Amino acid sequence: VNETFVDLGVVADGVEEEREANVRATAGEGEMLSFVVFGASGDLAKKKIYPALFALYYEGRLPKNFMIYGYARSKMTTEAFKDKIAESLTCRLDWSKQGGSDCAQKSEEFFDRCVYVAGQYDVAADFKALDAQMCEDEKHVSAVKRVFYLSIPPSIFVPVAQNAARECQCKKGDTRVIVEKPFGRDLTSSRELTAALASELSEEQTYRIDHYLGKELIENLTVMRFSNIMFQPLWNRNYIRNVQINFSEDFGTEGRGGYFDHYGIIRDIMQNHLLQILALFAMEEPASLNAEDIRDEKVKVIRCMRPIEMDNVALGQYKGRLTDGRKYPAYLDDETVPKGSLCPTFAAMALFIDNARWDGVPFLLKAGKALHKRQAEIRVQFRHAPGNLYGERQGRVEHVTNELVIRIQPDEAIYLRINNKVPGLGQRLDQTVLDLQYKSAYGQVQLPDAYERLILDVINGDKRLFIRNDELEAAWKLFTPLLDKIEQQKIAPELYPYGSRGPIGAHYLASRFNVRWG
């Protein structure tokens, strides 16, 4: 095992105590955790699930007794499985700086709890064998929690859930199943999937993951809104002119073209990640922080959304570009993408919430691949201060509107643009920012990866950050008519160069609402 890969043990002042408390809370209970990753040989398992599990172990957040089972069709020994996990654990901090010297030892301890079981996804006997192995490992404990992570293509969600539910239900405690997106590709297929899963698992057992809900700044949205009195009175149509929720990536589909072409950017990013952010941003204050109260408010606000008009949508697809002798491929150059595909890799749209709080306020959503930067953020533009005290002077507007920016990634930050007097004898106004940069404010604290937070929530049975079936239904009801129109009318996306700011149509769209994309 490579020694250079880890240091997760960094804690800032004040965080140590909280961690200690959590360690006690999770490690001392005596309940065993059996965690199964279906699709253990795959990309997501390697990129996200193993690093998150190891980080939780390293931080003392897993129960003392736990086992991790990798399950997939690939032939692999447990030793090879451990090597695969080892490769996936990347360095999260310069480990020589902080006390990470026990990382190598911790990783060996962690690998001791990892087992690989090869099996087919549709053969009940293989699941029985997995169950037998788990029962053997669980035989000395009286309380067990089993978590099954469906890290597999959606085409096999149902048979795997069925087999897991029928053959591997926990005999000594709860069984929970994590389902990855996509949850269908329209209202009908999503309902079918929900019904098929519901025939095997209760809603209580089902954890639909949207990893954006596990990101630090998204978790912070509710705290920011409801614990700061200064924001509460401003959070409505009287003070907010428009809201942007932007997602961009500076790389294309890169080998995932086959998957992507079946879904497109609206299903891949907007119907889930961006809509979830919007719901948390716009919902009414929940009765409590309890999962059901929060999800009640989210679903309510999504149900208030106006059907999306095609006129309020701009679509794009990236084309190739040659820059400084380097060739950036077009979406259509991806061999797994069908020739002539009209699949959008970029979309921008204006959405409206027809309720008393948000009536008339445009929510502009934008998501794109192969753009000029990787970033996700929320930008809130406030109305102009009324009156003309610092308004137009000598024919030019001196002050600009206040803007609150919540940068979700990278370089997490929250800043507020305000008008300020330029220091000195004159009366000139300038813009400046009240600025919370996570790096400087919270020093060396390593923000947990979204998957780390979400997996821990599943273990603890906290469903706040998971999508309830009625939320999913409301989200598909909003997007399905638009998706049908785009596909039935074969609407061609506007081409934009790889690495650019996206298609011109998106800028026209924003300008109709007096907005410039941030």
Nearest approach in angstroms of CB 116 to ligand NDP is: 10
Nearer to ligand BG6, 242 or 248 (CB): 248
Q: Which of 18, 20, 29, 43 binds ligand NDP (CB under 6 A)?
A: 43
Least distance to ligand BG6, CB of residue 222, Å: 20
The three-state secondary structure class of 271 is: helix
23 φ, ψ (degrees, to nearest 5): -60, -45
In this structure, the number of other CB atoms found within 10 A of the CB of residue 515 comes to 19
The residue among 157 and 358 lying less far from ligand NDP, judged by its C-beta, is 157
Q: What is the CA radius of gyration of the chain?
A: 24
* Binding map of ligand NDP across residues 165-204, x = CB under 6 A, - = no contact: ---------------xxx----------------------
Length of the chain: 518
**Helix, strand, coil shares of the chain as percentages rounded to 5?**
40, 20, 40
- Looking up tokens 């005999």 gives 171
Structure tokens of 194?
């929900």
Residue whose entry in the numeric block shows the structure tokens 């709080």 = 357
Taking the complex as a whole, the smallest distance from the CB of residue 154 to ligand NDP amounts, in Å, to 5
In the complex, what is the shortest distance from the CB of residue 363 to ligand BG6, in angstroms, rounded to a whole number?
20
From residue 472, alpha-carbon distances to 189, 288, 299 in Å are: 12, 21, 9
The entry of ligand BG6, ligand NDP, none that residue 268 binds, CB within 5 to 8 Å by partner kind: ligand BG6
Q: Which residues pair with 365 in a beta bridge?
A: 245, 349
| String marking each residue 97-136 x if it binds ligand NDP according to CB under 6 A | ------------------------x---------------
What does DSSP say about strands 363-368 and 346-351: parallel, antiparallel, or unpaired? antiparallel
Burial class (CB in 10 A: 0-12, 13-18, 19+), 321: middle
Active-site residue flag, 273 = yes
Q: Is 412 in the site for ligand BG6 (CB under 6 A)?
A: no
Provide the token pair at 40.
């253990």
What is the x/- site pattern for ligand BG6, positions 234-263, by CB under 6 A? ---------------x--------------
Nearest-angstrom CA–CA distance, 308 and 426: 48
Give me the least distance between CB of 91 and ligand BG6, in Å please: 18
Nearest CB to ligand BG6, comparing residues 53 and 266? 266
DSSP alpha helix (H) spans, 6-146: 15-27, 43-44, 50-58, 78-88, 103-111, 124-138
Binding-site string for ligand BG6 from residue 183 to residue 222, where x marks contact by CB under 6 A and - marks none: ----------------------------x-----------
Q: Which of 140, 262, 273, 384 is catalytic?
A: 273
268 counts as binding ligand BG6 under rule CB under 6 A: yes
C-alpha–C-alpha distance, residues 288 and 291, integer Å: 8
How far is 362 from 513, CA to CA, in rounded Å?
7
Select 368 or 497, whichever has its Cβ closest to ligand BG6: 368
Instruction: Return the residue of 23, 129, 143, 156 that touches ligand NDP, per CB under 6 A.
Output: 156
Residue 9 binds which of ligand NDP, ligand BG6, none (CB < 5-8 A, kind-dependent) = none
Give 240's strand partners: 382
Interaction partner, residue 388 (ligand NDP, ligand BG6, none; CB < 5-8 Å by kind): none
- Nearer to ligand NDP by C-beta: 1 or 156? 156
How distant is the alpha carbon of residue 319 from its chain centre?
A: 27
Interface residues with ligand BG6 (CB under 6 A) are 211, 249, 268
Give the catalytic positions in this structure. 273
